[in-house]
Chain A
Amino acid sequence: MSDPQTAPASRERTGIRLGLWARGPSRWHIALTVVFLALLSVAPLWVEASGRGYLVTVLTRVVIFGLAAMSLDFVMGYGGMVSLGHATFLGAGAYTAGALTYHSLDGSRLLGIPGTDQALVTWPLATVVGALLGLVIGGLSLRTKGVYFIMATLAFNQMIYFLFNALEIYGGDDGVGLFAASRAIGPLDASDDIVFFYVCFAVLVVFTVILNLVVRAPFGRVVRGCRSNMARMAALGYQTYRYRLAAFALSAAITSLAGAMAVTESQFLSPSFAEWTESGELLIMVIVGGLGSLIGGVIGAGALFLLEELSIDITDNWQFFVGIGLLAIVLGAPRGLTGTLLGGRRSHD
């Protein structure tokens, strides 16, 4: 599975088992990406036509959280950085967009700036905040490696979560509703759920293309090289720390954008966006969908939300079954849905 020339030296236990598309996107991979996105693009029309219009918001959440999971897959599946703290950035984006929206409804100012609920302002701003926070947290956490990195990202996640909990102005741990906010995206009024779905879908498509290009670009090759064999990349003269940090910040920025989109979608701001279990759920989406495939994050989000939607009528304890299912996947089908779907050789550690 791994490149035979680098495999023998790659003894670091913290290195990640190479994903299905370790050598970059194959033709099958691109085909799967296109087919899945095409299916997703007609899904809202289909559920609407079949009289289950309430599912449109679920599909929108698949798109938004799929975008976050995809950007987590970028650092994890391609960069070999197992982050158990990506909810930090989801929360950062949500609080950036949510706070601006809150102040626009309130008429008050945030650090002297008037609030706004215009997504063309809140979303890009959230992306920038995510990138900066990613630089800080990634910069500190990447000083460590392996299991320390996992623990450090999780610890920062908890810190940010408690900070949001302490923001009494936005309702503390209860959060605050922003239901009066408009869903203005430029001149477009996206208060209709289907319109809003397509806005989010367009964002997802743009970043699917961007990330697929990035992993094939020279930058992405260096990042992938760092996953396989950091010492070798350093010996080749690459500043591995900087490449990994840049990749982490890019991922944080996209996740933060997803957080902003999520708060525009739900019109409710609360610290639960940044809860550590949310980081775990993003990780589940990536693994269920297939590590190192990008589109797998969206497929995983789809699978998880579908399971939630299906089981919520039957049982309150759906997380119990998510846990069981996850165990089954980890022990039985470690390459996720896409990996199992596309078949191929079983890899060994």
Chain B
Amino acid sequence: MNLFIEQTLNGLQLGFTLLMVSAGLTLIFGIMNIINLAHGSLFMVGAFVAADVGGRTGNYLLALLAGIAGAAVAGLIVELGLIRRLYHRDHLYQVLATFALVLIANQAVQMIWGLTPRSVSAPAFLDRTVPVLPGLPYPAYRLAIIATGIAVIVFLHLLVERTRVGMWIRAGRTHRELVGAFGVNVRLLYTLVFAVGAGLAGLAGVVAAPFLSVESGIGDHFLILSFVVIVVGGIGSLKGALYGSLMLGLADTWARTYLPDLFGQFVDPSTAATAGASVASASIYLVMVVVLVVKPNGLFGLADE
């Protein structure tokens, strides 16, 4: 039972990290109708800037803020310099242009920070365990990630549903021209949403960095996972991003924990470990397959236009 609770928390931690990446991506897609492959690069920028600042100052909070700011600024530059020109282009060209950014970014971080992988350590004040249940200690850092994820989704929910900017965002999803006609600076709004999404990707990069080795291309896997989240949850929907992220985080973690044991009941342990691991790594995609078969537009997708 303790193992189950522990793994469920691990799954939630992965899910909320994914949420930070995919919420921005889905907002950007929902309002601007643009597919951005470079979102994973913003994750990478966050991780690298945090590793750099953290390495220099030894101050985690400073590293965190720098990572978020670095990704948000990179996002601003990308939006103003490139994405802006792509709003009215075909998705194919958006894919190509943002793929070009991925190539450039992956190479640029190597040119700036070298080939040696870097590491970010969890902050000292969270580098301990707390008992979530009597007799079940759990790393405080992972709990902090879950809390951060909850804060992010509450913030985004309030931003989108309760503020004037959020009203524009919601209106912009369906009536882009009309919002502009009412005097809203749509370009500025897009830039703002893009920068917020970029900052969130950077945040995800910073908080996930202690589990990863910070090297060129680390954001790519998270980018693709976010695409799976969006296919599962539905494009443009924060609710979809939330449920999609948590479903995938849990599916992945549970499958990794239990499948090797389950397979071990039928075949010898080493085969079971290998087979279990490969099926587990495919588990999130199997979730996607089921959703594609049952609801091709995603669980909470906006109505198909």
Counting CB contacts under 8 A, is A266 at the interface?
A: no
**Would A82 and B95 count as touching, CB distance under 8 A?**
yes
Q: Give Cα A330 to B93, complex, Å.
A: 6
Closest to A76 in B: B92
- From known contacts A155-B224, A159-B285, infer whether A334 and B93 are also in contact, taking CB-CB under 8 Å: yes
Q: Give Cα A144 to B29, complex, Å.
A: 16
> For chain B residues 96-134, which have a beta carbon within 8 Å of chain A?
96-97, 99-104, 106-108, 110-111
**Would A324 and B224 count as touching, CB distance under 8 A?**
no
Counting CB contacts under 8 A, is A141 at the interface?
A: yes
Residues from chain A with Cβ under 8 Å of B92 in the complex: 16-17, 76, 82, 283, 287, 291
**Would A166 and B35 count as touching, CB distance under 8 A?**
no
Q: Give Cα A263 to B85, complex, Å.
A: 40
Counting CB contacts under 8 A, is A280 at the interface?
A: yes
Stretch at the interface among B54-62, B145-153, B274-282: B274-282
Counting CB contacts under 8 A, is A176 at the interface?
A: no
Residues from chain A with Cβ under 8 Å of B101 in the complex: 323, 327
Closest to B104 in A: A323
**Would B100 and A151 count as touching, CB distance under 8 A?**
no
How far is the CB of A207 from the nearest CB of chain B, in Å? 23
Q: Give Cα A165 to B281, complex, Å.
A: 10
Residues from chain B with Cβ under 8 Å of A317 in the complex: 107, 110-111
Partner of A320, one of B108, B230, B293, B297: B108
Counting CB contacts under 8 A, is A156 at the interface?
A: yes
**Would A151 and B231 count as touching, CB distance under 8 A?**
yes
Task: Mark interface residues in A148-167 (1 if CB within 8 Å of B CB, else 0).
Answer: 10111011111100110111
**Would B99 and A283 count as touching, CB distance under 8 A?**
yes
Residues from chain B with Cβ under 8 Å of A327 in the complex: 82, 97, 100-101, 104
**Would A283 and B95 count as touching, CB distance under 8 A?**
yes
> For chain A residues 63-83, which have a beta carbon within 8 Å of chain B?
76, 82
Partner of B292, one of A140, A323, A331: A140
Residues from chain B with Cβ under 8 Å of A140 in the complex: 289, 292-293
Counting CB contacts under 8 A, is A14 at the interface?
A: yes
Residues from chain A with Cβ under 8 Å of B88 in the complex: 349
**Would B227 and A320 count as touching, CB distance under 8 A?**
no
**Would A320 and B35 count as touching, CB distance under 8 A?**
no
Interface residues of B (CB under 8 A from A): 29, 33, 35, 37, 82, 85, 88-93, 95-97, 99-104, 106-108, 110-111, 220-221, 224, 227-228, 230-231, 235, 274, 277-278, 281-282, 285, 288-289, 292-293, 296-298
Q: Which 10 A-B pairs have the closest CB atoms?
A: A166-B278, A323-B103, A323-B104, A320-B107, A159-B285, A326-B100, A151-B227, A143-B296, A323-B100, A162-B281
